[in-house]
Structure 1
Amino acid sequence: MDDLAAREAAADEVVELCRDLIRIDTTNTGDSRTSAGERAAAEYVMEKLAEVGIEPVVYEAEPGRTNLVARIPGADPSRGALLVHGHLDVVPADPDEWSVHPFSGEIRDGFLWGRGAVDMKDFDAMVLAVVRQWGRSGYTPPRDIVLTFTADEEAGGVAGSRRLVADRPELFDGCTEAIGEVGGFSYTVSDELRLYLVETAQKGMDWLRLHARGRPGHGSMINDDNAVTTLAEAVARVGRHRFPVVITPTVRGFLEEVTELLGIELDLDDPEKAIAKLGPIAGIVGATIRNTANPTRLSAGYKDNVIPGRASATIDCRTLPGEEERLLRQLRDLVGPEIEIEHVGRQGALETTFDGSLVDAMAAALRAEDPGARAVPYMLSAGTDAKNFHELGIRCFGFAPLRLPPDLNFSALFHGIDERVPVDGLRFGARVLDRLLRNA
């Protein structure tokens, strides 16, 4: 089978693979006791890999939280290996809120619908489709490819990539670069030009819990030392605060290139005016020009007529590279001395340069399938398993290629209602990924 036929074969198979994966409920609630687990999906992946002679290593940090790692030997063992990673878990979905059942894998209006369609069973299916065609044809890639399908990414990788890195680092020996979510998707500038956003940076994550203490008492009495009041005032200050604009090299490069192409005036001291004109990607880009701290949970009390002596709130902080300590100082000033700050979870920010042979191969693979493609770097406002693989010294990129309809609000589909991926975009992604991995 020649390269063109192999790419078309992978494109033909990717939609059914993605449908099958979506139909396997791998809901991750953040608590293994109430999560569906990834084992059923991992067994499906193992079966599809075994059919073409690929036998992965299975690792479970907790029962049912299944991770798979498989190495495909390359033609040149002296080259650094490329890690290709995707997660099998998905966030919860309420069927009553959806137009279709979130685990139906229904195809409608040119889209494949379901939880995980873009986050990220689409890329899992692309990877499977490509390597299955390689296995059938006996193709050997130019360098080692390390396939990794992880558990628990949606809860920080505690039972997934974090434990793999800590407990089984030898599985990633020789890996120098990695690709995973979220990047490689298109943003239409004109009929002749589409930008494909390659993730070269991620904001850091710091989940904090704020605690306030006060004088407990009866709800009918006047109480000027109420923990709930103290906490509520602190949370309101945090939630309403706008942190100053900080432009990192990745964001600067993206904004300068995009605004020039679109003919938009850019003021780097006030970039939000330009960002507001970017359409569907404005939300993603707008979250990468400053640190953020969003209150997400509140907890206090045990009875309606009892003033509690303690109240707590969770703050989801996302920090730009190099900004972690400054954000903490700013938060301390905002909440005041009466509030105790507890660190619940923390992962650092990432940033790499947009250069090198892998980046060149990404751009070439995109252009080969879309002559109007232009690859550009961008920063993801959230986090992925890349944060944990980065701890092994691996240079990480987000590249799960999709050509999207111009009017699709892609960012809203992540963790959103009616998550869906264009069928043609899936097929496009499989072809691009095949080209990339053959030339990376």
Structure 2
Amino acid sequence: MTSLRDETVALLQQLIRAETVNDGAIDSGNEWRAAAVLEEFFAGSGVELTRVEPFPGRVSVVARLGGTDPQAESLALVGHTDVVPVKAADWVHPPHSGELIDGEVWGRGAVDMLFLTASYAVIFKRLATSGFAPSGDLVFAAVADEEQGSRAGVGWFSENDWSTIAADNVLTEWGGARLGGVGSTAMTVGVGEKGAAPRRIVVRGDAAHASAPWGRSNAAVTLAKVIDRLQSRAPKPRISEQWLETLAALALPAELSTRLASPDTIDDAIDELSEHPELGELAPFVHAWTHTTVAVTIVEAGSKVNVIPDSGSISLDIRVLPGVTAEDVEGHLASVAAEFPGLVSVEGDWFSPANESATTTRLYAQIESTLAEFVPGAKPAPILGVGGSDARFYRLHGANAFGFGILSPGLTFSVARNRFHSANERLDLESIDLTVRGLDHVVRNFLSA
């Protein structure tokens, strides 16, 4: 029988070659190609795939292996099949070739997240055809459109057909990398995601000829002052139980750990961490995991070099921690705007709250024991994703959702993250082998209880 690794590699290569590029348009993605690959993979196995196509070409496929105990917890393996666009000129090897070169599978989606989608399919097929009788339902879902908000994927299911993909527990992306560099035994497990509250600050001024600027209300100057206030009055840090668990897994020097655990000292400690020769790369993420962040991303003012601008705007990417509300965001920005009476207003009200799954669940315990079995001395490091994934929809419906994998020692958190959406995306065979066998171990043990 073909090994789990080799079967996963072969399917991964086919999924990469399907070229399911999602450029944001509702008619892009072409996930029907990945669905066709998976339908061929399951053909003749007895597994019945449900094909769902909410928009032309945006196809998801779902299978469910019924459990023996209606009261037992169910488990879903959820992977997306779309990938982000590429700039082919920046790649060493063709970006949709799926080539196996020097022990690595190359291609867009190799890391994000077709290797997991392939792993889920291989495990589900093996279990379904081996006579395995899960205690609770096992669901396999290969879904469309995760890269553009899931409006044609899990987001659509959430609003229109949740029962098809519903489960009590979920395994998905954002896990398995070593946090703290090569040799670290702190293994990331995705337990939640920060929320989002994009806003736009609008500034007013007085138009005038730029040759006589004195006394004029210059919108560009006001913009600069607003940006300065946003930086100097950034939201205070929050120390969560999740961060303390991650900090314990990192096993940093005691004095540094103590300072990173206190809201009074963490900012200075992050500065110190950034200078560390091996751990400095973690500093931006430690900051993001412990702060609601307000990032200035677009600044606009003026249209002609000799005219003082009478208006301008600042676009803000705001990512919120669990527990932070829309009212908190509005209050923070209102306090900044109040310093510029009559000149500054805030636009936008869209708010997506942060989400998080508890680390006291039975599935998390199974993840913890599996990591320890596959990586001697491993400790889970629960992290918040600073981007979004389909896990948020499951958490919205009350499910426990975790990002799980086991990557090779050299594929540290920073290295793995830098391959997301980048040129020359690739994944080594050891990571694929460890992950698919680790997943098989988790699924069999969790659904045999």
TM-score normalised by structure 2 residue count? 0.84
Structure 1 position 13, deviation (Å): 0.8
CA contact (8 A) 1:201 1:250 kept: no
The letter of the residue matching 1:425 is S
1:88 to 81, 84, 87: 81
CA contact (8 A) 2:182 2:409 kept: no
Asked if the contact 2:356/2:395 (under 8 Å) is kept, the reply is: no
Alignment correspondent of 1:378: 383
Cα deviation 1:89-115 (Å, max 9, x = unaligned): 222221122222322223333322222
CA deviation digits over 1:228-261, x for unaligned, max 9?
A: 6655654565467643222111012211332358
Based on CA coordinates, which of the two structures has the bigger radius of gyration? 2
Q: Report if aligned partners of 1:206, 1:344 keep a CA contact under 8 Å in 2.
A: yes
SS in 1 for 2:369: helix
Task: Give the corresponding residue for 1:321.
Answer: 322
Name the counterpart of 2:17: 23
Deviations 1:252-281 (A, max 9, x none): 221133235888543032241564343554
Q: Matches of 2:225 and 2:407 in 1, distance apart?
A: 44
Question: How far has the Cα of 1:362 moved from its partner?
Answer: 1.2
Q: Which amino acid aligns with 1:428?
A: L
Partner of 2:444: 438
CA change 1:171–1:108 in 2 (3 A) is same
Which runs of structure 2 are paired with 1:205-284 in the superposition (5 Å)? 205-212=196-203, 224=216, 230-231=222-223, 234-235=226-227, 237-238=229-230, 242-260=234-252, 265-267=257-259, 268=261, 269-270=265-266, 271-273=269-271, 275-276=273-274, 277=276, 278=279, 281-284=282-285
Q: Is it true that 1:164 corresponds to 2:154 in the alignment?
A: no
**1:105 corresponds to 2:98:** yes
Aligned CA distance change for structure 1 residues 229 and 260 (closer, same or farther; 3 Å): closer
Q: 1:150 aligned to 143, 149, 160, which one?
A: 143
**Residue 185 of structure 2 is aligned with which of 170, 188, 194?**
194
Q: Which amino acid aligns with 1:295?
A: V
RMSD: 3.2
After the TM superposition, which of the residue ranges 233-242 and 383-392 deviates more from structure 2?
A: 233-242
Q: For 1:31, what is the secondary structure of its paired residue?
A: coil
State whether structure 2 residue 190 is matched by structure 1 residue 183. no
Number of residue equivalences: 431
* d(CA) in 1 for partners of 2:421, 2:9: 20
User: Given that residues 180 and 282 in structure 2 are in contact (C-alpha distance below 8 angstroms), is that contact kept between their aligned partners in structure 1?
Assistant: no
Sequence identity (%):
30
2:277 counterpart of 1:285: no
Deviates more, 1:22-31 or 1:221-230: 221-230
SS at match of 2:364: helix
Give the Cα separation in 2 of the matches to 1:239 and 1:61: 43
Superposed CA offset, 1:301-350 (max 9, x none): 88999988765543211111112333332233335553443337432112
Distance in 1, matches of 2:253 and 2:444, equals 31
Cα-to-partner distance string for 1:130-154 (whole Å, 9 max, x where unaligned):
1222234333333211222222222
Answering whether residue 58 of structure 2 is matched by residue 65 of structure 1, we say yes
Contact 2:4/2:122 (CA < 8 Å) preserved in 1?
A: yes
For residues 30 and 313 of structure 2, the distance between their equivalents in structure 1, rounded to whole angstroms, comes to: 29
What secondary structure does 1:120 align onto? helix
Quote the offset at 1:126 in angstroms.
0.9
Unaligned runs of 5+ in 1: none
Which amino acid is the alignment partner of residue 329 of structure 1? G
CA distance in 1, matches of 2:377, 2:248: 19
Cα offsets for 1:156-214 (capped at 9, x unmatched): 222222221111122245x22212111133347775x6222112232112222334456
Q: Which amino acid aligns with 1:400?
A: G
**Residue 330 of structure 1 aligns with which residue?**
332
8 Å contact from structure 1 (residues 29, 92) kept in 2: yes
Range moving further from structure 2, 354-363 or 308-317: 308-317
Deviation at 1:400, TM superposition (A): 3.1
- Is the contact between residue 182 and residue 410 of structure 2 (CA under 8 Å) also seen in structure 1? no
Q: 1:232 to 1:97 in 2, by over 3 A?
A: farther
CA distance in 1, matches of 2:205, 2:430: 58
Q: Which has the higher strand share?
A: 1
Which of 404, 407, 415 aligns to 1:402? It is: 407
Q: 1:141 to 1:334 in 2, by over 3 A?
A: same
The letter for the 2-side match of 1:249 is E
Contact 2:197–2:317 (8 Å) recurs in 1: yes
CA contact (8 A) 2:177 2:411 kept: no
Contact 1:141 1:437 in 2 (8 A): no
**Partners of 2:85 and 2:300 in 1: CA distance:** 22
SS in 1 for 2:37: helix
Query: Which residue is 2:373 aligned to?
Result: 368
1:260 and 1:199 mapped to 2: Cα distance?
A: 21
Judge conservation of contact 1:205–1:383 (CA < 8 Å) in 2.
Answer: no
Residues 214 and 159 (structure 1), Cα distance of their counterparts in 2 relative to 1, 3 Å cut: farther
The 1-side partners of 2:221 and 2:373 are apart by 60
Q: Distance in 1 between matches of 2:139 and 2:389?
A: 17
Structure 2 residues without counterparts, runs of 5 or longer = none
Amino acid across the alignment from 2:23 = T
